[in-house]
């Protein structure tokens, strides 16, 4: 059984339909139209022979989210998949950004995903299986003008993905992130008609289905759009040790080309991996450096 938030249209609808086509029972969550958008997608699924139920729970409301999950578990016995897809835009340059708009975007994208994930987590732990998909964005990975609130929320979801991938690994729970480039209601007026024609939500849904499948990886960020798929990773350059006498801003500036050299990068599995790497390098270099 899967829960897909923001599934009344766009990407969420495409994800829900794609899962239903594979026999997955789907909770279609959307607050749009007082629940009518969610019910319309449920009707599509049921008419095609699938099983689905609608939910108009507001994902920023913890109680409503918990009730949505409990209703689904009571009906179908378990929850295997959660796709955190719901989102909004409140775009403006940072200088013109109003704090209520900043908080609202964080509340929907980040805290909404937290609420839903926390509600399903104990069920997944108990059954020893779960697949969670966060929806991040290139704006959160690389930045985008006028989207400080959206970019901050989407970047936070990458951090949440990384931590949950670690915490859930030994419990049968895999957590990944999807960074879609799609033509949806959220992108109206932001991209050309020609680009929109190539970036339909249905071109991205296969990536979402894979990331919540039994064969899913863990802790991956998958970019998707127009039938194109690519993995984004956080990498680190080869660390450079500076002796105590060299630890000045001037020495860092002088050796910046070496410190920032991306020709020899590596991927770290966790924050402690980085800490251990730095400690080992410092110990080794301190031992090798003459007094």
Indicate which residues carry an active-site annotation.
Answer: 150
Short-list 160, 154, 147, CA closest to 116: 160
Beta strands at 173-180 and 221-225: parallel, antiparallel or unpaired:
parallel
On whether the CB atoms of residues 176 and 221 are closer than 8 A, the answer is: yes
Q: Which residues make Cβ contacts (< 8 Å) with residue 52, sequence separation at least 6?
A: 16, 20, 25, 26, 27, 28, 41, 42, 45, 46
On whether the CB atoms of residues 131 and 216 are closer than 8 A, the answer is: yes
Question: Could you tell me the sign of the dihedral formed by the alpha carbons of 138, 6, 18, 226, in that order?
Answer: negative
Short-list 46, 44, 58, CA closest to 5: 58
**Residue showing tokens 């950004």:** 97
On whether the CB atoms of residues 209 and 22 are closer than 8 A, the answer is: yes
């Amino acid at each position: 059984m899967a829960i897909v938030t923001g599934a009344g249209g766009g990407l969420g609808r495409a994800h829900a339909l794609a899962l239903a086509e594979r026999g997955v029972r789907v909770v279609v969550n959307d607050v749009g139209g007082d629940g009518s958008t969610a019910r319309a997608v449920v009707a599509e699924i049921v008419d095609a022979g699938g099983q689905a139920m609608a939910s108009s729970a507001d994902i920023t409301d913890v109680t409503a989210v918990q009730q949505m999950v409990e209703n689904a578990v009571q009906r179908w016995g378990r929850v295997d998949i959660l796709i955190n897809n719901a989102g909004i835009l409140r775009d403006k340059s940072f200088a013109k950004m109003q704090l209520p708009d900043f908080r609202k975007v964080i509340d929907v994208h980040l805290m909404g995903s937290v609420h839903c994930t926390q509600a399903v987590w104990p069920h997944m732990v108990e059954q020893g299986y779960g697949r969670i998909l966060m929806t991040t964005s290139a704006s959160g990975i690389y930045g985008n003008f006028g989207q400080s609130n959206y970019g901050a929320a989407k970047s936070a979801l990458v951090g949440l993905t990384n931590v949950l991938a670690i915490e859930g690994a030994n419990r049968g729970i895999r957590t990944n992130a999807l960074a879609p480039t799609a033509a949806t209601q959220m992108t109206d007026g932001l991209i050309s008609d020609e680009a929109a024609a190539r970036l339909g939500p249905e071109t991205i849904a296969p990536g979402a289905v894979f990331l919540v499948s039994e064969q899913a990886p863990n802790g991956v960020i998958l970019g998707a759009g127009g039938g194109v798929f690519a993995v984004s990773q956080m990498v680190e350059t080869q660390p450079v040790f500076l002796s105590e006498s060299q630890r000045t801003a001037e020495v860092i500036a002088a050796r910046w080309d070496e410190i920032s050299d991306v020709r020899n990068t590596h991927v770290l599995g966790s924050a402690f991996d980085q800490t251990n790497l730095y400690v080992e390098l410092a110990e080794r270099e301190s031992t090798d450096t003459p007094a």
